[in-house]
Amino acid sequence: MAIWLTLCVLIVVIAYLLGSFPTGYIAVKQLKGIDIREVGSGSTGATNVLRTLGKGPGALVLVLDALKGVLAIALVYWLFNFNPISNYIPPAIDAQLWQPWLITLAGLAAILGHSKSIFLGFTGGKSVAISLGILLAMSWQVGLATAGIFAVVVAISRIVSLSSITGAIAVSIFMVLLHQPLPYILFGIAGGLYVILRHRTNIERLLAGTEPKIGQNVAIPEETI
């Protein structure tokens, strides 16, 4: 039992470290030699990279951040299905009941890592792209449905933050409608609330009518280029 619990804790820690990997920061640093935290919204996520450097780098960071979420959940599936490891599952443990809970913990750890990266002094992004990757690996139906809501809202409003907030609200609804396990529903609630909280300043700008739309790039001060 002790070995199994140690493996579970290790998976959650690795999920956090995966989430912490600063893809946006590294991409912008390599391409422009600047600290993405010092321009735009200060976020290291794909939206700030998009506004700062354009569609190509923004899309790259979006995909890489989503992959971090997929990998975090894939680790849990590997733990339960790779025979040399799964042999350590104690007889008293019901794998079908335990796995969704560990997936939920790993997903939350990855989200936390993305927004509070240990490699960036516990700063980071707003956890939208990585949440999408987690959802697609956790329940592809919920992931696609949430992505669809995001796409519709962004197509109408041209405001990424509004689309992200709407998607964060929709996740819990889709989890219930698609009859997902209780741990996944709790993930939808907790993860959605966290993403919304990470958008506090965006909400203030939305209410003030000053939130930038897609295509409104962020000016980079000359001394940082």
| Lowest mean pLDDT, pick from 38-42, 105-109, 118-122, 182-186 | 38-42
Higher pLDDT, 39 or 111: 111
Collapsing DSSP states into helix, strand and coil, what is residue 123?
strand
Lowest pLDDT segment from 54-63, 88-97, 110-119, 187-196 = 88-97
Q: Are 72 and 88 in contact (CB under 8 A)?
A: no
DSSP run (H or E) holding 212 = none
pLDDT at 222: 41
Alpha-carbon gap, residue 180 to 79, rounded angstroms: 21
- Residue type (1 letter), 123: T
User: pLDDT value at position 85?
Assistant: 65
Kindly state the average pLDDT of the residues 128-136. 96
Mean pLDDT, the chain, whole residue set: 89
pTM: 0.89
124 and 20 in contact (C-beta within 8 Å)?
Answer: yes
Q: What are the C-alpha distances in Å from 179 to residues 142, 174, 176? A: 10, 8, 5
Say which DSSP state 214 is in.
T
Q: Token digits for 124?
A: 């980071």
Name residue, tokens 């990998």: 71
Express each pLDDT in 59-84 by its tens digit. Answer: 999 999 999 999 999 999 988 887 67
The continuous run of DSSP H or E covering 204 comes out as helix 200-208
| CA separation, residue 123 to residues 39, 63, 136 (Å) | 14, 20, 25
Has residue 224 got a pLDDT over 60? no
Instruction: Transcribe 31-99 into DSSP letters.
Output: HHSS-GGGSTTS--SHHHHHHHH-HHHHHHHHHHHHHHHHHHHHHHHHHHH-HHHHTTS-TT--HHHHH
155 vs 81, residue with greater confidence: 155
The pLDDT of 199-210, averaged and rounded, is 91
